[in-house]
Chains A and B, each alone.
Chain A
Amino acid sequence: MNKQVIAAIGVSAIVALSLPAIVSHYALSIAIATLYLAFVGQAWNVMMGFAGQLSLGHALYVGLGAYVSGALFTHLGIAPWLGLWAGVAVAVSCGALIGWLAFRFRVTGVYFAVLTIASAEFTRIGFDHLEWTGGPAGLFLKVAQRDSIDILNLRGPPAMYYYALLLLALATLGLCTWLLKSRVGYYWLAIREDEPAAEALGIPTLRFKMLAVVVSAALTAVAGVFMAFYKNSLFPEQVFDMGRSIEIVLAPIIGGLGTLLGPIVGAIVLTLLGEGTSAALQLAGLELPGMKQVIYGVLLLVTVSFLPNGIWPPISRMLVGPKVRA
């Protein structure tokens, strides 16, 4: 890697680490939202970008992680670091079930996507009837004062959440890099590019597709846990909503499917786009409800039409040369 890339990474690192101190509170809340998208986008990317399975119901895993850990905290006082494992376990079981059913019965492509949507909706309605998690009235976590940092119970000022999410996003990046460069990664690539050929070569496709689903579900559930403790209130119709699932997939697709930095780049671009549009409209005095989303949609359309592989691949080619696939 040449000197400029190293310099860029260095500058980004310094900016990222000192962000809470230099930007406004509003910008910090935006940064937290961006990191969340980056984290959850990477998790989704494992299933789709690496293993080629289009899931449009990923809010299911976010919700399960959030609700399980949130409910355990509220009813039994269990700290999030322990509740996390329970949340992950539930999400992984659901993911494994969906995965196994789908792969065993050869449900692929758009059918698989619809299956994932249906599962999320099914769960949403289910949680609407579940008393233990508050039903449609929602689950409210007891909020402690934000003056002190209680990392054990994830109670603290926004800066704490920012660093926690930054750590998670980077750790996930590390994990994905390691996975991708290992044998698992190559099997996944083979399955994504041409599954029948991969099978013919003797790769146990069922097992590795399941692995992708499980890893993806687990990581997404962790994101859910953080969201639960950040937002402190959960409602089934908001948490499992199809809009949430779609939010999750936008960043990796726009950034670059299957790449490592794609989801992160995508998350940053999307957030800046969204907030930038709002700010621009406010300045221009054109604050009609819905205008921002229309512009958002048009920009999305344009991006998909002209940069169908995502934003990151052409940029990365520009920076480090065509041979390295980052």
Chain B
Amino acid sequence: MPAADLVVSVVVAGLLTGLVYGLMALGLSVIFGVMRVVNFAHGELMTLAMYATVFACSAFSLDPFVVLVPVALGFFGLGYVLQATVINRFITKPEHVQFLLLLALATILVNAQLMAFGPDARGVQTDYQLDAIELGPLLIDTVRLYAAAAAIVASGLVIAFFRFTLVGKAIRGCADNHLGAKVIGLPVERLYALTFGLGASCVAVAGTLLVLIVEVTPGAGPAYTLLGFVIVIVGGLGSIAGALVGGVLIGMSEGVAGLFVSPSAKSMVSFALLILVLLLRPAGLLGKTA
């Protein structure tokens, strides 16, 4: 039976990391919730952002938290353009066609990254990377704490955007009633592009934060895409709070499972959770039942 302080530190770490994963899943949820586009290239976008961060940090000797804003803006633009030029035509197409399009995109991204950056794992080097904060018997990883805080701030901004700004409300209108939105004259195409840009910038910020904790390799994308989907389905597709809750839940449960059961089988727990949610409450924990 593991000691109490061990359990607590694992749960806390799971919570912190889970918040960053939640931010990643948020982007996915927003894109799917509004446009019903299944973004199978989500993880690949994140690894691209991670690479961007690594190079920006080393080229300009900046801290990832400083690089965060330009990367977020850059990826907003990238997402906007991607949606407006390529993806828009596929919104009304059946799911398997969307999937294939985004899969093609993902393949291009993964291998272009391999060609451009080589197979080595890359990471950022900061002074505080290996620090930990002591809280009694607990050691909390400094980097995880900062990353989680940034993730909360970013998510808060997104929530505020959707709730309080006119554009945000317009996008929600599109999501709820596509035809109605068009009828009242909302520029639906532009709003969709904006949404994809927003989703992309969420995942980019998550990537910038994550590269402080793990290193990036060209092939890391697909695992993150799958993780994103698991989180979003557990939390509820289309629900922002759901993505965060899902992320935290998966983060903590994997940690606890690793502690009590075998660590090498801990992903099985998230999948089991996913299967349970799909069967018992397919809309997800915080999703709206359709």
Contact = CB atoms under 8 A, between A and B. Distances in A.
- Asked if chains A and B are in direct contact (CB within 8 A), the reply is yes
Contacts of A110: 32, 38, 95
A114 B101 contact: no
A76 interface: no
Nearest to A128: B264
Interface string A251-262: 001100100000
A304 B97 contact: yes
A122 B226 CA distance: 12
Interface in B31-73: 32, 38
A122 B268 contact: yes
Interface residues of B, number: 42
B159 interface: no
Contact of B271 (A107, A111, A113, A121): A121
Given A106-B282, A115-B278, A125 B268 contact: yes
A300 B100 contact: yes
A202 interface: no
Contacts of A118: 230, 271, 274-275
Interface stretch (B108-116, B180-188, B247-255): B108-116
Interface stretch (A77-85, A156-164, A284-292): A284-292
Contact of A298 (B97, B104, B222, B264): B104
A212 interface: no
Contacts of B274: 114-115, 118
Contacts of A119: 271, 275
Interface residues of A, number: 45
Contacts of B275: 101, 115, 118-119, 122
Interface string A78-119: 000000000000000000000001100111011101110111
A125 B279 CA distance: 21
Nearest to A242: B222
B112 A294 contact: yes
A293 B108 CA distance: 7
Nearest to B226: A117
Contacts of A249: 96
A187 to B, nearest CB: 20
A31 interface: no
Contacts, number: 116
B226 A301 contact: no
A262 B275 CA distance: 32
A102 to B, nearest CB: 8
B265 interface: yes
Given A101-B279, A105-B278, A308-B93, A290 B233 contact: no
Nearest to B109: A297
Interface in A232-252: 242-243, 246, 249-250
Contacts of B103: 246, 300
A56 B86 CA distance: 23
A294 B105 CA distance: 9
B166 to A, nearest CB: 30
B229 interface: yes
Contacts of B9: none
Contacts of A293: 107, 110-111
A301 B268 contact: no
A297 B226 contact: no
A250 B268 CA distance: 27
Nearest to B118: A289
Interface in B1-57: 32, 38
A105 B282 contact: yes
B108 to A, nearest CB: 4
Interface in B101-160: 101, 103-108, 110-112, 114-115, 119
A314 interface: no
Contact of A107 (B112, B115, B279): B279
Given A110-B95, A129-B262, A297-B105, 19 more contacts: A48-B96, A101-B279, A106-B282, A111-B278, A111-B282, A118-B271, A119-B271, A121-B267, A128-B264, A242-B226, A289-B119, A293-B107, A293-B110, A294-B115, A297-B104, A297-B111, A300-B104, A304-B100, A305-B86
18 contacts: A102-B278, A107-B278, A110-B95, A111-B233, A111-B278, A111-B282, A118-B271, A125-B264, A128-B264, A242-B226, A253-B97, A290-B110, A290-B111, A290-B114, A297-B105, A297-B107, A301-B86, A308-B97
Cβ-closest 6 pairs across A and B: A297-B107, A290-B114, A297-B108, A290-B111, A300-B104, A293-B111
